[in-house]
Every structure is written in structure tokens, then in C-alpha cells.
Amino acid sequence: MSHQFDPTVLREYDIRGIIGETLGPDDARAIGRTYGSILREAGGKTVAVGYDGRVSSPLLEHALVEGLTASGCDVVRIGMGPTPMLYFAEASIEEVDGGIEITGSHNPANYNGFKIVIQGRPFFGEDILALGRRAAAGDWLDGTGTARQLDIMDAYIDALLKPLEGVDGDGLAALRIGWDAGNGAAGPALERLVARMPGEHFCLFTDVDGNFPNHHPDPTVEANLEDLRQLVSEKNLDFGVAFDGDGDRIGAIDGQGRVIWGDQLLMIYAEDLLGNRPDATIIADVKASRALFDHVEKHGGKPLMWKTGHSLIKSKMKETGSPLAGEMSGHVFFADEYYGYDDALYAGVRLITASARLGKSVTQLRGEMPAMLNTPEMRFQVDESRKFAAIDEVKARLADSPDEVNSTDGVRVTNADGWWLLRASNTQDVLVARAESDTEEGLERLMAQIDEQLALSGLERGESVGH
């Protein structure tokens, strides 16, 4: 027995594909067999398994558990919930050695996939490629594991509420907050969470529906925040929080309806955290605004620019002992009083506590941020065989540039006008570009530099493509 995966599903940070075309129950079973064998050889035996609200998730969960138990692993089934609830199970249940969440994240309804952790660290990159090779070879351990159900939702909510302890109760009681679960897997947990929090809370789309009938659950796309913006405006709320399909990415708007982007949220979290932990290292990805890195320095922290990708950031946090990290895409990682993984519900609670401790409303905090002019993330199609080569060519051409060139992840070039970025996506055949300046003219000059480098490599920006 062996199993061959469709090559498109084994991605850098997770395993993901289209149900009935590139991904199905046989793949889930093979993932269980292979991962279970790897975990047992590493000295582990017990795996937590959860799944999101997609229509295909229960079928994949059943097959995954079959594969895990056939490899001799014991399974703790935590049922449907957000990805961070699975991470919580893996981090907090003593006998659990690894975890798998079945989720299509923010992809369309016909996608699904697997986010994996093993012995407290993300399972990604070479781990995933090795899993594919091992499945193709049928190199599996045999055994007869057990499976049991465990409801951990209440314990998870208890952990989410911890930051509120010791925060001024009167200030919290006066808050009025909107929440948009986008029909994703975080809905039921959100309902239980707000029922136990002070203040007034107004929730949208908490019923789980894998067809996402109201809007697509990706809070980094401004159009998807329109329902939340209307709610905040109509009810005159203090601010609003939105989640992606599996609850590990946060989006937010202030009381005036302005978007608070991922790097701007990190500015608020960093200012709050550095009050208690001066000198801490705060990590952000290469797409983040210069304003964030300046803000961290101003408040006594050490900013560190790192590669984009939640698994890469989590690994860097462990290596550096960083208590806080984040990405433009809305992944925020807290390791100071939490477990170091990305949890949008926890990030929502920490936004409330940061505002209370800093003595400023979220709208005021957003309003005090410098007005930078920046492009959205531009993504354009480049042949898979060319994308990394093109970036290498740009690096070589800029070797003697008078500008500051950072090659942590692609090329980020800083000069008097601001900065521009060009990097290859790890998960798609696209190049990603972004630029930021203080002036419109500066932004135009930065964009011209991106276009010039692309032209020298025989490419052009063309139409921006989606995720």
C-alpha cells in the first residue's frame, strides 16, 4: 500500500486542495497513516484532531482518524471549532503530542486542507514534502490506536478570558463592540466568549455555514468588512473585529469605520506589551509598514523583520524568545501570557485590554498612527519555474545599490522615498509587490523602480490576482 498526493496540495505551510479534484478522503487517510508514523518514531503517540465548518470537513476528519489509529496513534477528537482551539488542545492537554486541524482557511467553499503541529512546533516546509515522499513509498507503521471525544470549548474560552483579569472593570463595562464571524468555524466559540465578557457585544454571522452565504471569510479584503462597518456605524459602536474562516486571522475597524490593518494592530499590541516588557523583540513580516518598526523602537522594543508565513514566524519566535509577532495578513502571535500561536479570538480580547491599559479608545489609537501612503498587496502571475529566479536576478542587480537592500524574504528596498518590496509567494505561482511612501510622488517613483526591475527580468506587473 502507498499513496500519491496531487503535487499541488503539498504546500509550504499546510496541505490544501479542491475537494473532489485534488483532495479527498483517501488523501486524509494517507496523511493520518504517514503523520502518525512520523509522530510515533519521534516518541509521540496521541494526536488532537479538530475541523472547521466546511461541508467536506466531517468526511475528511473521519478518514484522517482512520489513518491515525491504523498507524498506532491514539486520537483526541475535539470536534468542530477554530484552528486556534486545536492549537490550544495540542498545547494544553498533557498527553497530546501533536495536532491536526482540517480547514480550508480563507479559501473558497470547495477547498479544504490540513494545518499540522507536532510536539509543540509547526509542521511545514520540508516536513510536508517528506510526508509526501513517505506516503508515496508506503512507509507506514502499523498499529491499533483508540479514538475518544473531548469537549474543550469551555477550557478554551477560560484561556481567552484570562487577559481581562486585573483590567479596570468600569472601562470594560462601557465598551460596545461589533464582531463578524463570517459564518466560519469561530462562530460558536465567539458566542460563548462574548456572553462571558463585560460590555455590550453585537455579533454577525455566528452560525457556521461552509457555503459562506454572507461574504467571503477573509478580513484582509476590505470589501468583506462592509457588513461589520455598517453594524459599527448604525449602532455607534466603539470598534469592530472580524475573523477568517478558521479563526486564526483577525481584521478590525475603528469607530469611524477605518480599517486597522495587521501591522497597525501590531502597533497597538506592541505599545501595550512593551509597557510591561521593555526591550522585548517584536517580530513582523517584510510586508509591514515602516511605521510599525519605528513605533516598536520608540516604545523601547527591538523590531525584527522576518519572512512572511505563519509557520516561519512561529519558528522565529521560539528561536528569539519573542513575546509578540504578527503579519500583514492578520496572523498575530502572543507568547507573553499565551502559547505563541495565532489566535484571532485571543487577539480580539487583547485589543480590548490594550485599549483599556493604554487609556485610549481604539479609534484614538488608530487616529494617532502616521498617515502613510501604501499600495495594497499586489499579486501577479509568474510561472512557477521563474518566480524565485526572478527575485535572485533582482538581488544580483541591486548588489551595489546605494539604497538599503534587505533580502530576508525577497527584496525590500528602502530609500529617501520610502520602501518597496518584491517577493515570491511560497504557496502560489505569483510574485507579491508592495510599496509605501510619505508622498504620492514618492510612491510613484517606488512603483517605477518595481516596474523597472520586473522589465529587466522580462516580466511585467499586469493584472493583480487574488489569493
Q: What is the pLDDT along the chain (467 residues), one digit of tens a residue?
A: 899 999 899 988 889 999 999 999 999 999 999 999 999 999 999 999 999 999 999 999 999 999 999 999 999 999 999 999 999 999 999 999 999 999 998 888 899 999 999 999 999 999 999 999 999 999 999 999 999 999 999 999 999 999 999 887 788 999 999 999 999 999 999 999 999 999 999 999 999 999 999 999 999 899 999 999 999 999 999 999 999 999 999 999 999 999 999 999 999 999 999 999 999 999 999 999 999 999 999 999 999 999 998 889 999 999 999 999 999 999 999 999 999 999 999 999 999 999 999 999 999 999 999 988 999 888 888 988 899 999 999 999 999 999 999 999 999 999 999 999 999 988 778 999 999 999 999 999 999 999 999 999 998 886 555 54
Please check whether residue 88 lies inside any domain of the structure.
yes
Q: Are residues 217 and 361 in the same domain?
A: yes
Which cell numbers in the block locate residue 136? 508515496
Q: Are residues 225 and 355 in the same domain?
A: yes
Q: Are residues 304 and 400 in the same domain?
A: no
Catalytic option among 105, 322, 329, 437: 105
CB 223 within 8 A of CB 182: no
Q: Are residues 103 and 147 in the same domain?
A: yes
Which cell numbers in the block locate residue 142? 502499523
CB 399 within 8 A of CB 275: no
Residue-level pLDDT at 464? 55
Residue-level pLDDT at 426? 80
Residues 77 and 167: their CA atoms lie apart, in Å, by: 35
Q: Give Cβ neighbours of residue 171 (< 8 Å, ≥ 6 apart).
A: 356
CB 245 within 8 A of CB 217: yes
Residues 120 and 142: their CA atoms lie apart, in Å, by: 24
Q: Are residues 402 and 337 in the same domain?
A: no
Residue-level pLDDT at 384? 82
**Helices 25-41, 57-70: inter-axial angle, 10-degree rounding:** 40
Q: How many domains does the chain have?
A: 3
Q: Which helix (H) or strand (E) holds 445?
A: helix 440-456
Q: Are residues 359 and 241 in the same domain?
A: yes
Per-residue exposure over 169-206, b if at least 16 CB sit within 10 Å of its own CB, e if not: eebbeebebbbbbbbbbbbbbbeebbeebeeebbbbbb
Domain's final residue, options 330, 345, 367: 367
Predicted TM-score (pTM) of the model is 0.95
Q: Are residues 186 and 296 in the same domain?
A: yes
Please check whether residue 269 lies inside any domain of the structure.
yes
Please check whether residue 1 lies inside any domain of the structure.
no
Q: Are residues 292 and 404 in the same domain?
A: no
Residue-level pLDDT at 465? 54
Q: Is 105 a catalytic residue?
A: yes
Location of C-alpha cell 502572543: 334
What is the CATH classification number for the domain harbouring 203? Answer: 3.40.120.10
Please check whether residue 463 lies inside any domain of the structure.
no
Q: Are residues 23 and 38 in the same domain?
A: yes
Please check whether residue 462 lies inside any domain of the structure.
no
Please check whether residue 77 lies inside any domain of the structure.
yes
Domain ranges, residue 87? 15-151
Q: Are residues 219 and 279 in the same domain?
A: yes
Domain's final residue, options 367, 398, 425: 367
Using only the alpha carbons of the chain, give its radius of gyration: 22
What is the CATH classification number for the domain harbouring 435? Answer: 3.30.310.50
Domain's final residue, options 319, 347, 367: 367
Please check whether residue 274 lies inside any domain of the structure.
yes
Q: Are residues 340 and 207 in the same domain?
A: yes
Please check whether residue 466 lies inside any domain of the structure.
no
Residues 224 and 105: their CA atoms lie apart, in Å, by: 15
Strands (E), 24-69: 46-51
Q: Are residues 396 and 425 in the same domain?
A: yes
Which cell numbers in the block locate residue 423? 517577493
